[in-house]
Chains A and B, each alone.
Chain A
């Protein structure tokens, strides 16, 4: 936003010229995908914190006599084969599903963002070598290599998350590298270098801020992918181990009792679909709002 220095010395923002940020927010508010996705994501993030307050029962404790009861006033989404309340397990499941995916993406960005900037900034053979390596990695579905990791390290949420996090590095690094390359060529960065700014300053003042919006888009979409991959691992019994409440594991248990009690699988599956859809919609919506010309298509 344009700011002016008044004679008195006060900084005043000029409201008449809409900044790119406010244009972006305006477009975002008019984008139904972003709004629906954003709402789902907000609710999910909130659930991570408040799941214990909302859950009607202990997610780990059930009475076997109450096994596989369909939805009822006592158990809104019914019970599983151990008599545990499905709704409570779903609510707690947000923690591993969304939290695990956040961890995956956090790890990938912790490595990928500096790597992308470094490759673009260094250029030359460093750039060449790094991009070649991740192009090869990108060619393989992360889940396939994650199987090998689990085979080596054994099952578990943290291990799967770390493995997927590393395998997700190219997704973000590629985007950051692209933005950095553009910024590097931009005149003001050149000017900054001519003025003798240190590299660190150029990176933090010019490059990182410009990477921010593409990073946010990729983050949202990667979280969706990570949730699917983590759910797949736990569905196969390679992720988080029972009795922890997890959507993928619940789906796997639900499949065993599908004929008699489909509500277990349906509830868990619906939870995954809605959560993944939320992050996908948010990512799509953000991208449309950031790049309206592309969105016209």
Chain B
């Protein structure tokens, strides 16, 4: 198990290097003078521009800049924002808690919807529950998360007046109430795909031979489904739920923008809009790192669920 984690941690390194490099060169090799962007198109003296370039190492050749940037990155230094003149790491850490909460709530909501619905659809295959689940999965996968957000705002804020439509609230319960609608939005979008996978994994698991053994033992339908089938369906479900986390992070960007939440996603979008390169680079690399770590966690979970992964031995069958 420890070796599994160690190898996975090692494979993180090239992935991070790849993402960091892509982001860096993408931005540096495109036309446009960052120094001019920083001053926001105002007329400035050549001297000011030169000062800015020196301050941000923009006067050095690109390979040198890259080396410096990677060196900073390794030390956890993400640079200084062009616009806000603040440490990017500080900016990210400031905005992180809100996004983390949003992500956690959404993920929980999505599982609360998707897993029961997927199991039910598989058990009652081709009955109305199955049809409803398929319809939900299809519509959920086809509706952009920001449109789902708008629909929920229309219903729950404007029509029913139950929940606030904008902002993050004042902390505590107020924050929770404010995050409910955004989390529901994102949760529903995530649940669409997870429902579909849960259903197909459960259908697959329920046709396995050992299900017959479990029934032949005299177990109740409930234990057959939950104990024997569902545990076997968990591996594909977790794989997809893990992959969904990437979507969750991007979805969080869109949801924060729609609901006016000042999280990491809003930070990224604002930075993209004003071409605040250090923030774009820093936030992208940070999100990528979180994403890779989540994938690592998923791999570890496999080992916990499936003894064949944990203990080695013949796979498959």
List of B residues within 8 angstroms of A232 by Cβ:
144-146, 254
Other-chain residue from B27, B257, B273 in contact with A152 (beta carbon distance below 8 A): B27
Residue interface bits A198-212, CB-to-B below 8 A is 1, else 0: 000000000000000
- A235 to B227: give the CA distance in the assembly, Å: 44
Cβ–Cβ contact A151 & B27, under 8 A:
yes
List of B residues within 8 angstroms of A262 by Cβ:
154, 158
List of A residues within 8 angstroms of B19 by Cβ:
140
- A141 to B269: give the CA distance in the assembly, Å: 15
- A149 to B284: give the CA distance in the assembly, Å: 11
List of B residues within 8 angstroms of A280 by Cβ:
138, 141-142
Q: What's the nearest-Cβ distance from chain B to residue A114, in Å?
A: 22
Interface hit among A9-17, A20-28, A87-95, A251-259: A251-259
Cβ–Cβ contact A151 & B277, under 8 A:
yes
- A118 to B45: give the CA distance in the assembly, Å: 53
Q: Is A148 in the interface zone, CB < 8 Å from B?
A: yes
Residue interface bits A242-273, CB-to-B below 8 A is 1, else 0: 00000010010011001100100110010011
Residue interface bits B132-156, CB-to-A below 8 A is 1, else 0: 0000001101111111001101100
Q: What's the nearest-Cβ distance from chain B to residue A222, in Å?
A: 13
Q: Is A277 in the interface zone, CB < 8 Å from B?
A: yes
Chain A residue at minimal CB-CB distance from B245 = A141
- A141 to B271: give the CA distance in the assembly, Å: 19
Cβ–Cβ contact B275 & A236, under 8 A:
no
Known: A150-B272, A258-B158. A143 touches B150 (CB 8 A): no
List of B residues within 8 angstroms of A281 by Cβ:
138
Residue interface bits B259-286, CB-to-A below 8 A is 1, else 0: 0000000001101110101001100100
Query: Which residues of A123-181 have CB atoms within 8 Å of chain B's CB atoms?
Result: 133, 136, 139-141, 143-145, 147-154
Q: Is A228 in the interface zone, CB < 8 Å from B?
A: yes
- A149 to B292: give the CA distance in the assembly, Å: 21
Q: Is B105 in the interface zone, CB < 8 Å from A?
A: no
Cβ–Cβ contact A141 & B142, under 8 A:
no
Q: Is A99 in the interface zone, CB < 8 Å from B?
A: no
Cβ–Cβ contact A151 & B275, under 8 A:
yes
Q: Is B232 in the interface zone, CB < 8 Å from A?
A: no
Known: A144-B284, A147-B284. A277 touches B246 (CB 8 A): no
List of B residues within 8 angstroms of A152 by Cβ:
26-27, 30, 275
Chain A residue at minimal CB-CB distance from B159 = A262
Known: A140-B246, A228-B144. A297 touches B203 (CB 8 A): yes
- A238 to B158: give the CA distance in the assembly, Å: 28
Cβ–Cβ contact B146 & A235, under 8 A:
yes
Q: What's the nearest-Cβ distance from chain B to residue A293, in Å?
A: 13
List of B residues within 8 angstroms of A141 by Cβ:
246-247, 249-250
Q: Is B239 in the interface zone, CB < 8 Å from A?
A: no
Query: Which residues of B113-146 have CB atoms within 8 Å of chain A's CB atoms?
Result: 138-139, 141-146
- In this complex, how many residues of chain A approach chain B with their Cβ under 8 Å: the count is 41
Chain B residue at minimal CB-CB distance from A225 = B141
List of B residues within 8 angstroms of A140 by Cβ:
19, 246, 288, 291
Cβ–Cβ contact A272 & B147, under 8 A:
yes
Q: Is B204 in the interface zone, CB < 8 Å from A?
A: yes
Other-chain residue from A139, A238, A251, A277 in contact with B142 (beta carbon distance below 8 A): A277
Chain B residue at minimal CB-CB distance from A163 = B26
Cβ–Cβ contact A251 & B146, under 8 A:
yes
Cβ–Cβ contact B26 & A231, under 8 A:
no
Q: What's the nearest-Cβ distance from chain B to residue A129, in Å?
A: 12
- A236 to B284: give the CA distance in the assembly, Å: 17
List of B residues within 8 angstroms of A258 by Cβ:
150, 153-154, 158
Cβ–Cβ contact B18 & A136, under 8 A:
yes
Cβ–Cβ contact B295 & A139, under 8 A:
yes
Q: What's the nearest-Cβ distance from chain B to residue A272, in Å?
A: 6
List of A residues within 8 angstroms of B65 by Cβ:
none
- A68 to B144: give the CA distance in the assembly, Å: 24
Q: Is A276 in the interface zone, CB < 8 Å from B?
A: yes
List of B residues within 8 angstroms of A248 by Cβ:
144
Q: Is A226 in the interface zone, CB < 8 Å from B?
A: no
- A280 to B137: give the CA distance in the assembly, Å: 11
Q: What's the nearest-Cβ distance from chain B to residue A267, in Å?
A: 11
List of A residues within 8 angstroms of B154 by Cβ:
258, 262, 266
Residue interface bits B34-71, CB-to-A below 8 A is 1, else 0: 00000000000000000000000000000000000000
Cβ–Cβ contact B146 & A147, under 8 A:
no
Cβ–Cβ contact B268 & A147, under 8 A:
yes
List of A residues within 8 angstroms of B275 by Cβ:
151-152, 154
- A102 to B96: give the CA distance in the assembly, Å: 36
List of B residues within 8 angstroms of A148 by Cβ:
22-23, 26-27, 272, 280-281, 284
- A173 to B295: give the CA distance in the assembly, Å: 23
List of A residues within 8 angstroms of B288 by Cβ:
140, 144
| A–B Cβ pairs within 8 angstroms, 11 of them | A133-B18, A140-B246, A143-B250, A144-B253, A147-B253, A147-B268, A235-B144, A236-B254, A258-B153, A265-B150, A269-B150
Q: Closest 4 CB pairs between A and B? A: A269-B147, A277-B142, A276-B142, A152-B30
Query: Taking beta carbons and an 8 Å cutoff, which residues of A are in contact with B?
Result: 133, 136, 139-141, 143-145, 147-154, 224, 228, 231-232, 235-238, 248, 251, 254-255, 258-259, 262, 265-266, 269, 272-273, 276-277, 280-281, 297
